Amino acid sequence: MPGSDSEDRFGSGKGRGIRNRKIREAIYQRYRQAKAERKSEKRRQQAEEEKADPSKRVERLANNVPKTQENTREHDETYVDEDDQEVEDDQEQDEFAPYFSGQAPKVLITTSRCATAIANQFGKELETIFPNSKFVRRGSGYTIEQIIQFCNNREYTDTIVLHEDRRKLFALTIIHLPEGPTAHFKLSNPESMYSLDENVVITPHHPELILNNFTTRLGHSVGRFFAALFPQVPEFQGRQVATFHNQRDFIFFRRHRYDFVSGERANLKEIGPRFTLRLRWLQKGPYNPSHGEFEWSFKPAMETSRRRFFL
């Protein structure tokens, strides 16, 4: 079998250029083993140095930040800083301002026409998420405009419409009443709470709400949409948390119940349901998708880069 000189002559120990397959594989395996040993030795020495001087570990972690689509996203002019006074002034006068001034939400949940048991069951599960909400089966003869009028007459603040096609949920529309706005989302990966846990127990407590990573002006508008569906004062004794997490413009919804094990640690149990939303359009004013004024509408031509996000 070739020695080190032969290995250097035939590709620096990797076995390239050797016709005999067995010899080539043996050389390559020795190369991989030696490389793994060098890497292990380097990590061992690094661990010893960091144990003796903890500041080296802090410096290494600060310098070795992995690149992701999130931290390398393209610059967005509508990005909102935490102390942006212009945004705060606009939010004090928008359609959601009464809610943040103490108005209690009242939500009606319904479906598209001729909905099957799939949409009806998921609507009932949404009813357990939003406090002071009611699920109503939609008759085939009622239009969304008639449902909105029904809600306005009974002082509902929001209407949620589940859209189903061929026994599959595909979209969700949230209409803020009485003067809008309206948000339409693509709905994907819905999972029932009973598929996550057959013995799930739901209490009527108001959950805590977490809105994560809504950083642009559009993202703030969408976040306020979700916030207006929940009472401002959570009931902590219920130990429930509802989370809307935005990642690359996909909004992941999860609901958990937590249980404190110690002063600094808590166990989480997902109680569902879970689903993913992606904003398709946001419309100003009353619901009118045909002739209304759109604040934002998604078009495929807008996806010029995988690192361009809008929320």
pLDDT tens-digit map of 211-243: 998 988 888 889 988 998 998 888 888 889 999
DSSP string covering 139-180? PTT--HHHHHHHHHHTT-SEEEEEEESSS-EEEEEEEETTT-
The residue ranking higher by pLDDT, 162 or 266, is 162
pLDDT per residue over 146-172, tens digit each?
988 999 999 899 999 999 988 899 999
Question: What is the CATH code for 85-302?
Answer: 3.40.50.10480
Alpha helices for 115-261 (secondary structure H):
117-129, 144-153, 193-196, 217-227
Pairing assessment for the beta strands 250-260 and 208-212 based on DSSP bridges? unpaired
CATH 3.40.50.10480 region(s) of the chain? Answer: 85-302
Contact 210, 241 (CB under 8 A): yes
pTM score of the predicted model: 0.78
- How far is 135 from 109, CA to CA, in rounded Å? 5
Query: What's the CA angle centered on 220, arms 76 and 284, to 5 degrees?
Result: 100
Q: Is 284 exposed, middle or buried (0-12, 13-18, 19+ CB in 10 A)?
A: middle
